[in-house]
Amino acid sequence: MNSLLHFGVVPIDYTSLQSVYPSHRSLNDKVSALEKQGAIIRLKRGMYVVSPQITQRAISTELIANHLYGPSYVSMESALRFHGLIPERVFNTTSMTIKRSRTFKNRFGQFDYIYCPADYYPIGISQIIQDDYAFLFATPEKALCDLIAYSPKLQLRSVKSLLVFLEEDIRLDMEAFYRMDPSVFEKCVEVGKKKTEIGNIIKLLKK
C-alpha cells in the first residue's frame, strides 16, 4: 500500500495505477482488489482516490471536482461558503464548465457541473494552493455572478430585490460584498447572462 502514498489526495486514473503496478497481468483485477480492500475509492469509472486510511490526509472535494469533469472550476454557493461569505453549510459541490452540464455522485457527495460559454468561463478564476496540490476556484465576485446568472428562475430586476437576495436569502457577508472588485462584474456583464441583475450589483458597488 505504501506505493500509493505518493499520490496523496490527488485523483488517479488507470495510467497512474499502471505506473505503480506494471508487472500485474490484469490491471483490472488489481484495481478491483484495491477497491475491495478499501485502499482506493472510486470517484467515477476509471478514476479513483487513495483512501484517507492510507494517506492519513483529508480528502479535498474541491480537488475532486476539478478532476471529475473538466475544464471546470468550483463556484456558486460552494465557493462562497469556502471563502467564508455565507453561513449555511453547502452539501453539493457546484462547478462551472465549458462542456455540457453533468452531475456525478460518489462517496464524497454530489458534484454538479453547469455549462457556461467559453468567453465567460475564464473571468474571475483563481488557483487555490493547499499543501502539495492546487485547484481552480471562483473568486468571490465570480462565484456570486455565477450564482445569480445561472440560477434558474432567479430574477432580481431591481436593486431592492437584489439586496433582499443578498442580505436575507443567502445571508451574504455585506461588508465583504462592498469590498468586491466591480471590474469582475463588468467583464461578466459584457459576455454573460442576466445583464440587468449583474448591472445592479455594479450599481451597488459604485454607490
Residues 123-175 pLDDT 10s: 999 999 988 899 999 999 999 999 999 999 898 989 999 999 999 999 999 99
pLDDT for res 75: 98
CA distance 41 to 166: 38
Kindly tell me if the per-residue pLDDT of 20 is higher than 70: yes
Copy the grid coordinates of residue 27: 490491471
Side-chain-facing half-sphere of 12: CA atoms under 13 Å: 21
Residues 50-72 pLDDT 10s: 999 999 999 999 999 999 999 99
DSSP-assigned states of every residue in 73-141: EE-HHHHHHHTT---S---SEEEEESS--EEEEETTEEEEEEE--TTTTTTTEEEEEETTEEEEEE-HH
